[in-house]
Amino acid sequence: METSEIFDGLLENLKVDNSKAIADRRDEIVKALNKEFRSADGVVSYRLMVGSFGRFTATRGISDLDLLFFLPASIRGDYKDEAGPERLLRRVRRTLKDRYPRTEVRVDQCIVVVQFTDFKFEVQPVFENKDRSFSHPDTHLKRWRTTKPRAEIEAMQIRDRETSGNLRNLCRMARAWKNSHGVVMGGLLMDTLAYNFFKDATEYEKAKTSSYDLIVRDFFEFLSEEEDHEYYAALGSGQRVYVKRPFQRRAKKAYKLCLEAIEAEGKSAVNQKWKAVFGRPVPSAKSIQASQDARSFKDTEEFIEDYFPVDIRYSLRIDCRVTQNGFRPQQLSAMRKSRLPLLPQKELDFTVQDCDVPQPFQLKWKVLNRGFEAERRDDIRGQIIASSQDRTRHERSAFRGDHYVECYAIKDGVVVARDRILVPITPQG
């Protein structure tokens, strides 16, 4: 496939496909709040979608929708005391719970969360200020704080127009990368970094998708060379957007994968090379699909994206304890670092070493066998499976191949963290 075909297909697969359902739920929420605060029936005004959906940088499977509801200025004085933020949010919560009695509705510091089965709305009641900013409640600080999402939306809109739509496309592709590789990075930070990249990358302002291989290559190089920041100034608003985890090492790996994909241009492996960067949304090559249809083994691999939306927000790290009777147990990560071979007939216990996902959440695993021997044995596996015991998946090394194990943390029906470990089994002898 040509470069333009690959990236056109990637962007098509990243399009939000449930906009109508989102809009319908948004309007239901706003109608209920206007009824409560304005005694108005059927009114869907006085609201603004913000976040990635409002900036038009969201991708398919978006699970968090950020909605501002504009409160009447006439009640502002009623909630200006220390208890005001909590009283206001609890009033919003009661109103929405009445509207959705069988749905989880809860207060969370600055917002009211409405947890539907397919996505959730984070509703933030605000007072509009003269400078077009908004004042929103904070129950932890017991005061009203200022937010400027309009400035962020407008900055994105203006620069995207100047870059012929390439800025928003880059934001969407960057989300595919971070969700595929478990990069802990918020949406506003992602958009801010892409916005900063285009400050200097003016040569790509009029680029077509045939040049997107070069854009993403240079973008990941840009990320990999960023100095460590505690926070960045958000596009448009200049408000602080904090860095949760360093991203430079993952970006450098993505840059190298881009170089490999560019080198493979015109070859049958090019689609797979780009899949290594952006994951499942990259279209498969027709020649590869034809060869897969003719294979002699069953393709049993499953993909977590087919079961849950993916929106990486937390970190997860797994390792593997390798044991055999008569030998001292070793960690697979240490073995690989020391270049010690992993032989067949070893007991493998894959465990979660670190995870900052708030409870409750569930874990799922994927064990994929790769290589000639896996295909010859018709044993590639790859199904989405549960833990063998708490935070652990027990396996046994059987035959050679560069296999891998992946772990997913799922909270509120969304994959919020993931990690992968390579399991290179070397034949004996």
For residue 221, the one-letter residue type is: E
Q: Are residues 141 and 156 in the same domain?
A: no
Question: Which residue, 122, 147, 172, sits at the end of a domain?
Answer: 147
> What digits encode the pLDDT tens for the residues 274-312?
999 999 999 988 755 555 555 678 889 999 999 999 999
Q: Are residues 39 and 91 in the same domain?
A: yes
Q: Are residues 28 and 117 in the same domain?
A: yes
State whether the Cα torsion 316-317-323-328 is positive or negative.
negative
Q: Which domain, by its residues, includes 364? A: 296-425
Q: Are residues 132 and 161 in the same domain?
A: no
- pLDDT at residue 340, as a whole number: 86
- Alpha-carbon gap, residue 57 to 122, rounded angstroms: 17
> What digits encode the pLDDT tens for the residues 159-184?
999 999 999 999 999 999 999 999 99
Residue 213 resides in a domain: yes
Q: Are residues 136 and 36 in the same domain?
A: yes
The region that residue 247 occupies, defined by phi over 0 for left and psi between -120 and 50 for alpha, beta otherwise, is alpha
Residue 328 resides in a domain: yes
Question: Which residue, 104, 131, 147, sits at the end of a domain?
Answer: 147
Residue 383 resides in a domain: yes
> What digits encode the pLDDT tens for the residues 69-89?
999 999 999 999 999 999 999
Instruction: Count CB-CB contacts under 10 A for residue 97.
Output: 17
Structure tokens at 165: 């739509």
Residue 273 resides in a domain: no
- Check which CATH number belongs to the domain holding 383 and give it: 2.60.40
Q: Are residues 214 and 310 in the same domain?
A: no
**CA 19 to each of CA 59, 265, 407: distance values in angstroms, whole numbers, following the listed order:** 11, 35, 30
- Check which CATH number belongs to the domain holding 60 and give it: 3.30.460.90
**Backbone φ, ψ for residue 392 (5° rounding):** -140, 140
Q: Are residues 236 and 328 in the same domain?
A: no
Residue 66 resides in a domain: yes
Across the chain, which has 429 residues, the per-10-residue mean pLDDT values are 94 96 97 98 97 97 95 96 97 98 96 94 97 96 96 98 98 97 96 97 96 98 97 97 96 98 93 96 74 69 94 95 83 89 90 95 95 90 93 90 94 94 82
Q: Are residues 315 and 420 in the same domain?
A: yes
This prediction has a pTM of 0.92
Residue 281 resides in a domain: no
- pLDDT at residue 296, as a whole number: 74
Q: Are residues 95 and 129 in the same domain?
A: yes
Q: Are residues 354 and 418 in the same domain?
A: yes
Domain count, the chain: 3
Residue 275 resides in a domain: no
At residue 68, the 3 state secondary structure works out as: strand
Percent of the chain with pLDDT over 70: 97
Q: Are residues 182 and 237 in the same domain?
A: yes
State whether the Cα torsion 286-288-294-299 is positive or negative.
negative
- pLDDT at residue 293, as a whole number: 52
Q: Are residues 132 and 162 in the same domain?
A: no
- Alpha-carbon gap, residue 220 to 338, rounded angstroms: 29
Residue 142 resides in a domain: yes
Taken as a whole, the chain contains a residue count of 429
Name beta bridge partners: 126.
Answer: 70
